[in-house]
Amino acid sequence: MVIPKRSLQGEWTGSFAFVFALAGVSIGLGNVWRFPVLAAEHGGGAFLLVYGAFLVTLTLPLWLAEVGVGRSMRRTLPGGLARIAREQGSAPAWSGVGWVAVTMAAVVLLGQLLIGGWAGAYLYRAVAAPVLHFDAVTTTAVFTELLADAERLLLWFTLLLVAAGLTVSRGIGAGIQPMMRLLVPAMVVLLVALAWAVGRELGLADAWSTVFELRFDALGWTGVQMAGEHALFSLAVALGVATAFGAALPDRFPTISTTGAALALDTLVGLVAAVLVFALVSGQVMADGALQAGPALVFHALPDAMGSLAWSRQALVALYAVLLMAVFTTVVGLLEVVVSAVVEQGRLSRARATATVATALWLAGALVAGSLRGWLDAGEGGGPPLDDGVSMVWLTELVAWGAMPVVALALLIFVGWRMPQETLRGALRLREDWRYTLWMPMLRYVAPLILLALLARVAGLLPS
């Protein structure tokens, strides 16, 4: 099998750039508004141990499978699967798995752009408001006003989309790589600095105990399932990205260590975010017995809690700058998946493909932004607008619990059983040593069985 030397996207010039890029896409709002609450509710350190096991047995094998397809064929998921299937005499329909993944990336991208608009609007308010005051009433009013103002929401959506489009149109080397090298370290440093500053003023003892204390009695079967689901949820954002980025990874760079480092960085950010969250709202958690995950945490509970800080404006600016950077890096990665797949069809240049995809996304975003006003007026039972049902989180969750597990399962089966092992080993720079002996059973058996179990649980075939 003749393997191309370069992808159409360009190349990464350093392994750290690849690590930052892959981590930057997977680091998202789920690290802030979902992961901390899951850890606190389901046993703290006990949950983290189980979650780490799922990352090693599910997330890492799937990411490596993606990188293997991309690097071996120097193509995105549709093109890579199509070429391998053609070379092996397999059904051409395997390329359809890749196109479903690209479609899923576009759907998640739309939701991320809208949520990024919320973060941008809050950041602007934190910077520019002459008098900044957030409390329980104000935060709800601010978010309600934002959802009701379709023009303002569409403005932030457009700014984020244009910035991402300009980045992606320049390819890996000239656009995505320098952006990721700048934003991902800045995001991590700013998040750590914010957590440190909050800890100095409010203390970290309670937060540390909430996140890391081993409470196996609170884990239970539900906690195990939630840990697996969150490991799967993290894939929903990055599925297809590892293939697109892996296609541009030169042969001289290792794959297992770089992919593992990206996963470790994503997990580290989630842990720091969890400590920050519970340094701010641990009192509320203790009083109420629970904390609502999702937009209610990021756009209500956290700004409300930061309002009591002596330096609340600076804290809010830092928080929403981190969130905006997290969303933007995710948006760039997902847009790259869609644009590169279009470019590989050979009909459009990268610039025209980016403009075409961005235009389609803008039209869809305009429709959704306009419809939010109607959803706000017709909310079930007049519920608060911060509820997940009124937010665009449903787009991500629709993909995460809908097509994504099926696509991931199909990809594992194809790479584990249809892709030539020598091609896979060459792409991942693996010899037939203990690493290969350990990884292949996880790819062929363990990860697919975990996916099947999670799908059965979502379908109601397993007890919750």
Q: Which of residues 334 and 107 earns the better pLDDT score? A: 334
Among the residue ranges 136-140, 288-292, 299-303, the one predicted with the least confidence is: 288-292
pLDDT at residue 337 greater than cutoff 90: yes
pLDDT at residue 129 greater than cutoff 90: no
Among the residue ranges 15-24, 117-126, 372-381, 393-402, the one predicted with the least confidence is: 372-381
pLDDT at residue 30 greater than cutoff 90: no
Q: What is the pLDDT of residue 396?
A: 60
Give the confidence band of 403 by pLDDT, cuts at 50, 70, 90: confident
Q: Which of residues 57 and 380 earns the better pLDDT score? A: 57
**Using CA atoms, how far apart are residues 259 and 23, in angstroms rounded to an integer?**
9
pLDDT digits (tens, 9 = 90+) for 166-180: 999 999 999 999 999
Give the rounded percent of residues in the chain with a pLDDT score beyond 70. 88
Q: What is the pLDDT of residue 5?
A: 62
Q: What is the pLDDT of residue 291?
A: 67
Q: What is the pLDDT of residue 335?
A: 97
pLDDT at residue 4 greater than cutoff 90: no
Q: What is the mean pLDDT of residues 194-209?
A: 93
Q: What is the mean pLDDT of residues 124-142?
A: 74
All structural domains of the chain, each given as residue ranges with its CATH number in brackets, are 15-458 (1.20.1740)
pLDDT digits (tens, 9 = 90+) for 210-263: 999 999 999 998 999 999 989 987 766 778 999 999 999 998 899 999 999 999
Among 283, 393, 442, residue whose Cα is nearest residue 34: 393
Q: What is the pLDDT of residue 432?
A: 74
Among 239, 175, 246, 243, residue whose Cα is nearest residue 18: 246
Q: What is the pLDDT of residue 33?
A: 86
pLDDT digits (tens, 9 = 90+) for 41-88: 999 999 999 999 999 999 999 999 999 999 999 999 999 999 999 988
Token pair recorded at residue 430: 């693996």
Give the confidence band of 26 by pLDDT, cuts at 50, 70, 90: very high
pLDDT digits (tens, 9 = 90+) for 311-320: 989 999 999 9
pLDDT at residue 290 greater than cutoff 70: no
